């Protein structure tokens, strides 16, 4: 009986998942502002000049431990404080947005998913479209009550050197190289070594994006499905890039498509510099 | 039984169930301890150097433990710094978990584990373990147990049924065997078992017991029907058989032999009982050889045997009788190098069923053997229903009974009579008489002395009669002093055997002490025939009698074989001449001469003479002329009761 119920609820969930895209259109958000906690990824000074009504400021820079070095996520202790101060709880339904470039929003999307948030959505086309539509905005910063969030790391969303090593061996795991093709082929490298992680396939991050005038936008489902057609929906996917910045684009796209995907944020900078780890260098073959 | 088995089963299952429950709790705690121990260092690393990678890896590892609902990691300042899974329950119960270190709820186990390294506590974790896994297991076990229970119960029930049945089975078997067994009648039911326990012992015991009863009753049967010494049939058996054949419906002719050994007593007395027993065995084995097949051979008393010939003609039976006589004639027997010869007398009776009763038949066989014995050794007597001898025997038996009665308390009785003995040569006032005994049976019929005295003699009752007569006479006359004064002499008859009888001798001596009587007036008469052979043995007693003054008279002199030698040698004071001489003396001069001769001898010895049978004056005259001292007879006085004399 329990099992039947479980299957039923699973089916129900799947239909819900498919119905509710991870992207939220500006219109929908405008109509349901009170249902979401909205996070603005832009810098504080930009935020203070105007943001979506009730949105809280979560500058994307706070998601980097040290943006100058690589794309690694902010360490848990710091992140716990940031999230607590924003009064967020893991059960909250969040909408993140950026100026419309999509990179920052997907970065925060990924960050929040790693840190245990399960209901995170991304505002399609960002603030650029929001302001263009003349939806509700504000310059005021809402005062929030500190939450009792405790760091939680969703290892399904964050890959490490350890889990990636496992993936290189496990045939049901797929590794996606989100760098440019040259980097994949070993023509260029952000690390001491050239090449890519064994078994990795090349799907550059830029392939997920439509560059439409000044507006950058994630490709439509159809295009994305075409892009990831080689990967079976049941396979676990690990994505990496040069330093862990741009792979979040692929991450979001694949999440949107329903893949079980994690982002190896230390990326090639860690792997390429660790001589103990195996690499594949296509050119030298 | 069944109930007990069921209860035991249920309680066992309950115990197992409880143990299982307890175990699963213990296991949960143990598992958590194992997990936390293995993650101890990783948690330490998180506390010291928290990075997303570390946490991701830990989360990855923790995800392997499906039972972990959630974990909250605290640093040494009691601040939560990391969580894994869902932690709502931990949060709501945080205080309690910290206090009790392990806490069970319906579906969860909460534990607090300190993170310790080298004795320093860096923080702690609160862990929420999902017990549903254990519970599912628990439920599975419970359901399995419940599923098993009915079968276990059924099995238990069947087993207990089987056991109780197999327990009672041997006893039912035993009971049946007991009911059907009849070891005294040769019905033996043996019980058997394949088991090797107390039941077998019990069965063996029962079988043994039954066999014992069977054997001993067989032995008993044998002993009841057989003679212990010779192992042939005994009186009990043959009488039983006679009883049966006497009731036989067929017209079969039966012949019965009663064999009695002659003078067996002699061998028993001289050679001992062992010799007698050996002789009996030998006779049985020797004589047994000629016994016909269809017959019964039994020992019926000490030296008596019976042979019952069934379905045999009188002729063939008589043939067998002759054969038996010759077989038992001069049967030689050696004991301790002494040779003995023994023979047997045989009585023979032919009879048909319902002709006699058993009692009558036994009586007849007794009389035939008596008659056979009377004929001498190794003789047979064939019973004839019309036989007067047999009738006489019957009468004798009766007479002997009367005598015995008269000697004791009746109803038959004796009476003393006296007949005068009259002096022939002189006149006197004094009286002399011979005491005579008379007997009346219970119906007051007179029984003459010559009828009962021989019987009494045969039944060895004479000494008693003599004692009775003497004692009664003395009792009577000693009460009459005048009569004693007038008395010249009183003659009392004695059987020759009484003289040698110790009882009689003692009684006479007692009488002499007891009664005040002039003993010289007493004459004891002994017949010539019985005196012979007894006088020599009674010498001492006779000397004593003489000393007391009691006289002795020789009765019926002349009838026996006794020679005048007796008169010469024996110490008689009086000789009574037999009546037969007196009766014929007028016609036969020899008789008269004998009387005269006896008188002369007696006179020479100084003995007085008495002539019996004096019936006429003529007799008196002749006898007086010869010189006979006294006369006795009807002419001189008939016998009359003693009391009339007094």
Contacts 24+ apart (CB under 8 A), A12-21: A17/A258, A18/A258, A21/A256
Report d(CA B269, CA B301) in Å as an integer: 17
Contact B52 A159 (CB under 8 A): no
What is the model's pLDDT at position B1? 63
Longest dimension (CA), chain A: 59
B87 contacts chain A (CB < 8 A): yes
Q: Please determine whether the domains at A2-138 and A158-271 fall in the same fold group of CATH.
A: yes
Facing A162 at nearest CB: one of B50, B57, B80: B57
Q: Taking the CB of residue A123, how many other CB atoms lie within 10 A of it?
A: 27
Report d(CA B539, CA B552) in Å as an integer: 13
Strands (E), B241-303: 254-261, 295-301
CA distance B75 to chain A (A): 11
Report d(CA B226, CA B578) in Å as an integer: 55
Buried b (16+ CB within 10 A) or exposed e, B25-42: beebeebbeebbeebbeb
Q: Which residues pair with A260 in a beta bridge?
A: A236
Contact A150 B87 (CB under 8 A): yes
Confidence of residue B389 (pLDDT cuts 50, 70, 90): low
Q: Which residues pair with B102 in a beta bridge?
A: B111
Chain B interface test: which of A151, A154, A170, A262 (most B C-beta within 10 Å): A151
Question: What is the pLDDT averaged over residues B14-26?
Answer: 78
Facing A80 at nearest CB: one of B59, B81, B84: B81
CA distance A74 to chain B (A): 7
B182 contacts chain A (CB < 8 A): no
Facing A154 at nearest CB: one of B57, B59, B72: B59
Contact B91 A155 (CB under 8 A): no
Report d(CA B429, CA A80) in Å as an integer: 183
Buried b (16+ CB within 10 A) or exposed e, B131-168: bbebeeebeebbeebeeeeeebbeebbeebeeeeeeee
Closest CA to A157 of A22, A14, A19, A11: A22
Report d(CA A254, CA A225) in Å as an integer: 9
Report d(CA B99, CA B105) in Å as an integer: 15
Contact A162 B59 (CB under 8 A): no
What is the model's pLDDT at position A168? 92
Residue B219 reports pLDDT greater than 50: yes
Report d(CA B56, CA A151) in Å as an integer: 11
A159 contacts chain B (CB < 8 A): yes
Q: Which two tokens stand for residue B553?
A: 């008279």
Q: To the nearest 10°, the Cα dihedral for B615, B621, B625, B631?
A: 40
pLDDT digits (tens, 9 = 90+) for B29-68: 887 788 778 888 888 888 887 888 888 888 888 888 888 8
> pTM here?
0.48
Length of chain B: 646
Task: From residue B245, give the alpha-carbon distance in Å to each of B136, B249, B257.
Answer: 97, 8, 15
Q: B361 with B351: CB under 8 angstroms?
A: yes
B84 contacts chain A (CB < 8 A): yes
CA distance A128 to chain B (A): 32
- Residue ranges of domains in chain A: 2-138, 158-271
Query: Which residues on chain B are in Cβ contact (under 8 Å) with A161?
Result: 53
> What is A2-138's CATH number, 3.30.390.50, 3.40.50.150, 1.10.10.10, 3.40.250.10?
3.40.250.10
Q: Which fold has domain A158-271?
A: Oxidized Rhodanese; domain 1 (3.40.250)
What is the model's pLDDT at position B435? 93
Chain A interface test: which of B53, B58, B70, B136 (most A C-beta within 10 Å): B53
Of B173-187, B416-430, B460-474, B619-633, the least confident: B173-187
Contact A151 B84 (CB under 8 A): no
Report d(CA A100, CA B277) in Å as an integer: 151
Q: Which two tokens stand for residue B217?
A: 């009753």
Each residue's pLDDT expressed in tens, for chain A with a length of 285 residues: 555 555 555 444 444 444 358 888 888 899 888 889 999 999 999 999 999 988 999 999 999 888 887 788 888 889 999 999 999 998 899 999 998 888 889 999 999 999 989 899 999 888 888 988 888 888 888 888 999 888 888 888 999 998 999 999 988 899 999 999 989 998 888 888 999 999 999 999 888 888 776 667 788 888 888 999 889 888 999 999 888 778 888 899 899 888 999 999 888 988 999 889 999 886 654
Report d(CA A260, CA A167) in Å as an integer: 13
Report d(CA A241, CA A244) in Å as an integer: 5
B58 contacts chain A (CB < 8 A): yes
**Residue B465, Ramachandran bin (φ over 0: left; ψ between -120 and 50: alpha; else beta):** alpha
Contact B57 A160 (CB under 8 A): yes
Question: What is the pLDDT averaged over residues B264-285?
Answer: 85
Residue B575 reports pLDDT greater than 70: yes
Inter-chain Cβ pairs, chain A and chain B, closer than 8 A: 72
A147 contacts chain B (CB < 8 A): no
Contact A76 B59 (CB under 8 A): no
Report d(CA B524, CA B269) in Å as an integer: 33
Tokens 């006296």 — which residue? B418
**N-term to C-term CA, chain B:** 104
Contact B55 A265 (CB under 8 A): no
Query: Which residues on chain A are in Cβ contact (under 8 Å) with B56?
Result: 114, 153-155, 158-160, 163
Q: A116 with B72: CB under 8 angstroms?
A: no
Query: Which residues on chain B are in Cβ contact (under 8 Å) with A160?
Result: 53, 56-57, 60
Residue B138 reports pLDDT greater than 50: yes
Query: Which residues on chain B are in Cβ contact (under 8 Å) with A152?
Result: 55, 59, 82-84
Facing A75 at nearest CB: one of B50, B63, B83: B50
DSSP state of B339: E
Facing B84 at nearest CB: one of A79, A152, A159: A152
Q: To the nearest 10°, the Cα dihedral for B326, B327, B331, B333?
A: 170
């Amino acid at each position: 009986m329990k099992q039947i119920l479980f299957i039923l609820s699973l089916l129900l969930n799947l239909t819900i998942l498919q119905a509710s895209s991870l992207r939220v259109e500006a219109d929908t958000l405008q109509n349901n502002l009170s249902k979401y906690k909205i996070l603005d990824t832009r810098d504080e000074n930009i935020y203070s000049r105007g943001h979506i009504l009730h949105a809280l400021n979560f500058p994307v820079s706070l998601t980097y431990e040290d943006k100058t070095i690589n794309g690694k996520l902010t360490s848990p202790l710091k992140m716990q404080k940031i999230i607590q101060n924003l009064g967020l709880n893991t059960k909250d339904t969040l909408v993140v947005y950026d100026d419309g470039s999509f990179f920052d929003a997907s970065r925060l999307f990924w960050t929040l998913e790693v840190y245990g948030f399960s209901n995170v959505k991304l505002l399609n086309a960002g603030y650029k479209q929001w302001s263009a539509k003349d939806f509700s905005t504000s310059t005021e910063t809402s005062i929030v009550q500190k939450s009792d969030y405790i760091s939680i790391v969703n290892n399904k969303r964050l890959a490490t050197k350890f889990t990636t090593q496992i993936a290189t061996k496990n045939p049901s795991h797929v590794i996606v190289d989100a760098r440019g093709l040259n980097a994949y082929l070993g023509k260029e490298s952000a690390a001491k070594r050239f090449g890519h992680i064994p078994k990795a396939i090349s799907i550059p991050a830029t392939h997920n994006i439509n560059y439409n005038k000044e507006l950058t936008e994630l490709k439509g489902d159809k295009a994305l499905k075409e892009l990831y057609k080689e990967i079976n929906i049941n396979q676990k996917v690990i994505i990496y890039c040069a330093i862990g910045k741009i792979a979040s684009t692929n991450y979001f796209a694949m999440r949107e498509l329903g893949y079980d995907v994690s982002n190896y944020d230390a990326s090639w900078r860690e792997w390429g510099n660790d001589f103990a780890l195996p690499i594949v260098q296509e050119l030298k073959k | 039984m069944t109930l007990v088995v069921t209860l035991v089963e249920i309680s066992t299952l309950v115990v197992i169930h409880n143990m299982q429950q307890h175990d699963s709790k213990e296991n949960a705690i143990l598992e958590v301890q194992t997990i936390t121990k293995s993650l101890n260092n990783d948690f330490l690393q998180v506390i010291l150097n928290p990075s997303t990678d570390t946490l991701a890896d830990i989360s990855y590892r923790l995800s392997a433990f499906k039972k972990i609902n959630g974990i909250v990691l605290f640093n040494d300042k009691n601040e939560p710094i990391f969580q894994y899974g869902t932690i709502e329950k931990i949060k709501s119960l945080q205080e309690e978990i910290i206090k009790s270190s392990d806490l069970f709820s319906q579906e969860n186990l909460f534990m607090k584990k300190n993170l310790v390294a080298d004795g320093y506590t860096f923080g702690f974790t609160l862990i929420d373990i999902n017990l549903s896994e254990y519970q599912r297991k628990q439920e599975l076990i419970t359901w399995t147990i419940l599923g098993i229970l009915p079968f276990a119960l059924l099995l238990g029930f069947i087993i207990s049924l089987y056991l109780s049945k197999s327990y009672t089975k041997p006893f039912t078997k035993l009971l049946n065997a007991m009911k059907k067994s009849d070891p005294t009648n040769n019905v033996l039911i043996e019980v058997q078992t394949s088991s090797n326990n107390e039941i077998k012992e019990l069965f063996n015991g029962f079988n043994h017991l039954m066999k014992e009863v069977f054997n001993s009753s067989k032995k008993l049967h044998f002993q009841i029907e057989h003679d212990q010494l010779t192992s042939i049939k005994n009186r009990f058996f043959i009488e039983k058989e006679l009883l049966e054949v006497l009731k036989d419906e067929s017209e079969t002719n039966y012949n019965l032999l009663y064999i009695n050994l002659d003078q067996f007593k002699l061998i028993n007395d001289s050679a001992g009982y062992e010799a007698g027993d050996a002789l009996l065995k030998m006779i049985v084995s020797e004589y047994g050889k000629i016994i016909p097949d269809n017959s019964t051979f039994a020992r019926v008393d000490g030296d008596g045997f019976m042979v019952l010939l069934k379905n045999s003609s009188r002729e063939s039976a008589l043939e067998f009788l002759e054969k038996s006589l010759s077989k038992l004639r001069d049967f030689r027997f050696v004991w301790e190098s002494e040779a003995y010869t023994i023979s047997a007398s045989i009585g023979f009776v032919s009879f048909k069923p319902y002709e006699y009763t058993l009692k009558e038949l036994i009586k007849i066989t007794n009389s035939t053997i008596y008659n056979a014995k009377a004929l001498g050794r190794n003789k047979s007597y064939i019973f004839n229903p019309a036989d007067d001898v047999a009738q006489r025997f019957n009468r004798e038996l009766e007479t002997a009974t009367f005598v015995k009665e008269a000697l004791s308390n009746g109803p038959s009785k004796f009476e003393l009579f006296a007949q005068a003995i009259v002096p022939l040569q002189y006149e006197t006032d004094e009286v002399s008489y011979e005491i005579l005994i008379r007997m009346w049976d219970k119906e007051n019929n007179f029984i003459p002395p010559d009828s009962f005295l021989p019987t009494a003699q045969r039944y060895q009752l004479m000494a008693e009669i003599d004692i009775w007569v003497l004692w009664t006479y003395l009792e009577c006359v000693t009460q009459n002093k005048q009569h004693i004064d007038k008395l010249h002499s009183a003659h009392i008859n004695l059987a020759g055997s009484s003289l040698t009888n110790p009882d009689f001798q003692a009684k006479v001596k007692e009488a002499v002490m007891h009664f005040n009587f002039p003993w010289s007036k007493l004459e004891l008469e002994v017949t010539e025939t019985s005196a012979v052979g007894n006088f020599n043995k009674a010498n001492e007693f006779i000397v004593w009698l003489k000393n007391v003054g009691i006289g002795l008279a020789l009765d019926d002199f002349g009838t026996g074989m006794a020679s005048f030698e007796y008169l010469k040698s024996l110490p008689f004071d009086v000789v009574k001449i037999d009546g037969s001489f007196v009766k014929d003396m007028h016609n036969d001069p020899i008789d008269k001469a004998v009387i005269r001769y006896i008188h002369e001898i007696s006179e020479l010895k100084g003995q007085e003479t008495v002539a019996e049978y004096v019936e006429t004056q003529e007799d008196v005259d002749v006898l007086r002329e010869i010189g006979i001292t006294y006369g006795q007879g009807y002419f001189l006085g008939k016998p009359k009761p003693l009391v009339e004399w007094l």
